[in-house]
C-alpha cells in the first residue's frame, strides 16, 4: 500500500445522551354514579393509541437510518479507500449505528408523548447522507496524494537528469537550486492533504452544515496547494536545456 496521508484521524462519535424516562402516570378513578368505580375494562384509551403510533414511527425511522448507514459500507466511495481510512470511517459509522440503537431502546421505554418527541428530534438529527460528503472529500484527497507522489518521483528523476547534464559539463547550479526550491511547495500540498483528510474523518451523521463546509474548504485548499506545485514544476521544466520526463499534472 502506498504511503497515506489519510491514516491519522480521530473518529467522532454521535452522542446519544440518555433521556430521563418518567414512570407511567396514575390513572384517575372514574367518577362514581352511586354504584362505585367501574371495574369493567374498556380497552386502551385514544391517548395510548397515539403514544404507541408515535413510538412506532420513531422506531421505523431508527431502522431506516440504520439501514442507510449499513449500506454505506458497500458504497463505491467507501470500498476504494485505503485500509486505514476505511477502518476510521467504519468506526464512525458503527458508532452512529450504536447511538441509533440506543435511541430506539429509549423510545420503546417511553411513557409520554413529550419523551417520544424529544427522542424523535434526536433521531431526525442523524443524517447518514453526511457520509457521502466525507467519502467524496476523502476520495479527492486520495487523488491529490497520488498525484503528489507522482510529482515527487518526477522531481527525483529531474535531479538525476541534472546530474547527467553536470557530467557532460553543463553548469546546473541555478537549475539545481530551482529544483530544490520546489520542496516547500510540495510539502505544503502534502500538509494540506493531511489536514483535509483529518477534517473529512471527523464528519459523522450528526455533523452540522458548518462542519461539512469546513471539510469542503479544506479539500479545496489541498487541491489549490497541489495546483501550485504543478504550476511550479511546469515552470521549472521550461528552464531545462533538454526535455526531461514531465510529471503528472492535475
What DSSP letter does each residue of the chain carry, written as one string?
----SSS--PPPPPP-PPPP-PPPPPPPPPPPSSS----------HHHHHHHHHHHHHHHHHHHHHHHHHHGGGSHHHHTS-HHHHHHHHHHHHHHHHHHHHHHHHHHT--SHHHHHHHHHHHHT--TTHHHHHHHHHHHHHHHHHHHHHHHHHHHHHHHHHHHHHHTT---HHHHHHHHTTHHHHHHHHHHHHHHHHHHTT--TT--HHHHHHHHHHHHHHHHHHHHHHHHHHHHHTT-SS--PPPP--
Choose among 85, 86, 87, 220: nearest CA to 144: 220
Q: Are residues 55 and 137 in the same domain?
A: no
Residue 35 lies in a domain: no
C-alpha cell at 123: 433521531
State which of 93, 127, 161 marks the end of a domain.
Answer: 127
In this structure, how many other beta carbons lie within 10 angstroms of the beta carbon of residue 180? 11
Domain with 173 in it: 131-237
Provide φ and ψ at 216, rounded to 5°.
-60, -40
Q: Are residues 135 and 67 in the same domain?
A: no
Using the CB atoms, write b or e for 124-160: b if 16+ within 10 Å: eebbbebbebbbebbbbbbebbebbeebbebbeebee
Instruction: Please state, in angstroms and rounded to a whole number, the distance separating the CA atoms of residues 3 and 151.
Output: 14
Residue 37 lies in a domain: no
Predicted pLDDT of residue 55: 96
Instruction: Please state, in angstroms and rounded to a whole number, the distance separating the CA atoms of residues 165 and 242.
Output: 9
Residue 148 lies in a domain: yes
State which of 127, 145, 174 marks the end of a domain.
Answer: 127
Predicted pLDDT of residue 236: 87
Residue 79 lies in a domain: yes
Residue 97 lies in a domain: yes
Q: Are residues 77 and 143 in the same domain?
A: no
Give 163-230 as a DSSP string. HHHHHTT---HHHHHHHHTTHHHHHHHHHHHHHHHHHHTT--TT--HHHHHHHHHHHHHHHHHHHHHH
Number of structural domains (the chain) is: 2
Q: Are residues 138 and 215 in the same domain?
A: yes
Q: Are residues 114 and 143 in the same domain?
A: no
Q: Are residues 110 and 203 in the same domain?
A: no
Residue 28 lies in a domain: no
Question: Sign (positive/negative) of CA torsion 186, 189, 194, 197?
Answer: negative
pLDDT in tens, the chain (250 residues): 333 433 333 333 333 333 333 333 332 334 444 444 444 444 444 468 999 999 999 999 999 999 999 999 999 999 999 999 999 999 999 999 999 999 999 999 999 999 999 999 999 999 999 999 999 999 999 999 999 889 889 888 989 988 998 999 988 899 899 999 999 999 999 999 999 999 999 999 999 999 999 999 999 999 999 999 999 988 888 887 754 444 444 4
State which of 79, 94, 127 marks the end of a domain.
Answer: 127
Q: Are residues 180 and 122 in the same domain?
A: no
Predicted pLDDT of residue 237: 85
Residue 19 lies in a domain: no
Q: Are residues 82 and 154 in the same domain?
A: no
Q: Are residues 147 and 209 in the same domain?
A: yes
Q: Are residues 108 and 61 in the same domain?
A: yes
- Is residue 90 within 8 Å of residue 98, measured between CB atoms? no
Q: Are residues 142 and 214 in the same domain?
A: yes
Predicted pLDDT of residue 238: 85
Predicted pLDDT of residue 242: 55
Residue 15 lies in a domain: no
Q: Are residues 199 and 212 in the same domain?
A: yes
Amino acid at each position: 500500500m502506498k504511503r497515506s496521508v489519510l491514516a491519522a484521524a480521530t473518529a467522532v462519535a454521535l452522542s446519544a445522551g440518555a433521556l430521563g424516562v418518567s414512570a407511567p402516570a396514575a390513572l384517575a378513578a372514574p367518577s362514581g354514579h352511586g354504584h362505585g368505580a367501574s371495574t369493567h375494562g374498556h380497552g386502551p384509551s385514544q391517548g395510548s393509541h397515539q403514544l404507541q403510533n408515535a413510538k412506532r414511527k420513531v422506531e421505523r425511522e431508527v431502522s431506516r437510518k440504520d439501514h442507510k448507514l449499513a449500506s454505506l459500507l458497500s458504497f463505491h466511495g467507501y470500498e476504494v479507500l485505503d485500509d486505514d481510512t476505511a477502518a476510521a470511517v467504519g468506526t464512525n459509522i458503527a458508532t452512529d449505528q450504536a447511538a441509533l440503537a440506543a435511541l430506539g431502546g429509549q423510545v420503546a421505554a417511553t411513557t409520554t408523548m413529550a419523551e417520544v418527541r424529544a427522542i424523535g428530534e434526536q433521531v431526525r438529527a442523524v443524517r447518514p447522507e453526511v457520509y457521502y460528503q466525507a467519502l467524496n472529500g476523502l476520495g479527492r484527497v486520495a487523488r491529490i496524494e497520488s498525484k503528489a507522489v507522482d510529482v515527487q518521483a518526477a522531481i527525483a528523476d529531474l535531479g538525476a537528469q541534472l546530474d547527467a547534464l553536470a557530467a557532460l559539463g553543463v553548469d546546473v547550479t541555478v537549475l539545481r537550486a530551482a529544483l530544490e526550491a520546489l520542496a516547500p511547495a510540495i510539502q505544503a500540498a502534502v500538509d494540506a492533504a493531511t489536514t483535509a483528510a483529518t477534517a473529512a474523518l471527523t464528519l459523522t451523521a450528526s455533523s452540522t452544515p458548518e462542519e461539512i463546509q469546513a471539510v469542503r474548504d479544506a479539500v479545496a485548499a489541498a487541491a489549490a496547494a497541489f495546483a501550485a506545485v504543478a504550476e511550479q514544476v511546469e515552470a521549472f521544466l521550461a528552464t531545462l536545456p533538454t526535455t526531461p520526463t514531465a510529471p503528472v499534472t492535475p
